[in-house]
Amino acid sequence: MDLQALIDEIAEDLLRVEDRGQVANYIPELAKIDARKFAIAIATLDGASYSTGDAREPFSIQSISKVFALALALGKVGDGLWNRVRREPSGSAFNSIVQLEHEHGIPRNPFINAGAIVVADVILAGHQPREAIGEILRFVRVAANDDTIRINPAVSRSEQEAGFRNAALANYMRSFGNIKNPVEMTLGVYFHQCAVEMTCIQLAQAGLFLANGGRDPTTGISVISADRARRINALMLTCGHYDGSGDFAFKVGLPGKSGVGGGILAVVPGRASIAVWSPGLNRQGNSLLGTRALELIAQRTNWSVFGP
């Protein structure tokens, strides 16, 4: 299979699509992004990489950062994390607050905002926010094997200023004792991790360890155990696209995590890692054309966790 020809063809076909979804506008800094941006990058376990479109342009990875933060938090506290966040699909929006009341401040999973805020709180324990943020950034840089990756301060500030929902979630969980640090510090960590910027090429590289039993095939570094990599993939498949997770599993058939910046990271266990970027979102807050691109890649390569 000529992967380069495949992604070039998909990019060309999707260029003509008129409906590109809505760019996220609740974070003012993200609303400025050109909806016509589009990129695909694939990194394979044998060290090859393929890319097309704006694949060298950094974008806000937003909730895709939740995957790296989860891996880091599990490394710190192990399975004890599951006392503070569960592992069930939420079936509700990324920033929903209603479930939290019924479930006594324990979020459904680490990929909805409430769960990711708990994960940020775990990473923050015993540190200053600056150190925790540095640790997350370091993890991403090691995974991507690229020290140039940075956090965009304008985006984190923009989120901080507009983050009323996330502040509500964090305060609500704090009232149940499930946020241990001062709420503004935990939120500071969370907003900064969401403001990490990466290109599709960097992101595809950073996802490779999840396709390869926790070990980065290019550097040989063991990032996490094989067991954890499998479980993170399971959570990406069941919870990676909020209440669009079932549809993503149905259409694409691969573990994936989306972000409101329009990026999606998808993992093909044993084969490859794929990053796509198209800023327009569907109703569930997932990249519209990014999902379509992954669907086409999966269809034409027969890559799926559900069989050939």
Enzyme catalytic residues: 63, 66, 190, 242, 260
Torsion of CA 25, 72, 180, 116, to 10 degrees: 30
When asked if residue 253 is in the footprint of ligand GLU (CB under 6 A), the reply is no
When asked if residue 156 is in the footprint of ligand GLU (CB under 6 A), the reply is no
| CA–CA–CA angle 252, 258, 260 (5° rounding) | 140
In which residue are the tokens 């970027």 written? Answer: 277
Instruction: Choose between 95 and 212: whose C-beta lies nearer to ligand GLU.
Output: 95
Distance CA 106, CA 299 (A): 37
Instruction: Choose between 215 and 241: whose C-beta lies nearer to ligand GLU.
Output: 241
Residue among 237, 285, 288, 292 that touches ligand GLU (CB under 6 A): 285
When asked if residue 111 is in the footprint of ligand GLU (CB under 6 A), the reply is no
Ranges of beta strands (E only) in 121-248 are 150-151, 196-198
Residue among 51, 52, 62, 96 that touches ligand GLU (CB under 6 A): 62
> What does the block give as tokens for 124?
């923050």
Instruction: Choose between 3 and 64: whose C-beta lies nearer to ligand GLU.
Output: 64
Residue among 72, 136, 179, 194 that touches ligand GLU (CB under 6 A): 194
When asked if residue 95 is in the footprint of ligand GLU (CB under 6 A), the reply is yes
Instruction: Choose between 39 and 264: whose C-beta lies nearer to ligand GLU.
Output: 264
CA torsion sign for 175, 176, 182, 184 is negative
Residue among 107, 188, 256, 259 that touches ligand GLU (CB under 6 A): 259
Distance CA 267, CA 211 (A): 6
Distance CA 197, CA 190 (A): 14
Quote the longest CA-to-CA distance of the chain. Answer: 54
When asked if residue 63 is in the footprint of ligand GLU (CB under 6 A), the reply is yes
- Binding residues with ligand GLU: total (CB under 6 A): 11
CB of 290 to ligand GLU, least distance (A): 12
Distance CA 224, CA 213 (A): 8
Contact residues toward ligand GLU (CB under 6 A) are 62-63, 94-95, 113, 159, 166, 194, 259-260, 285
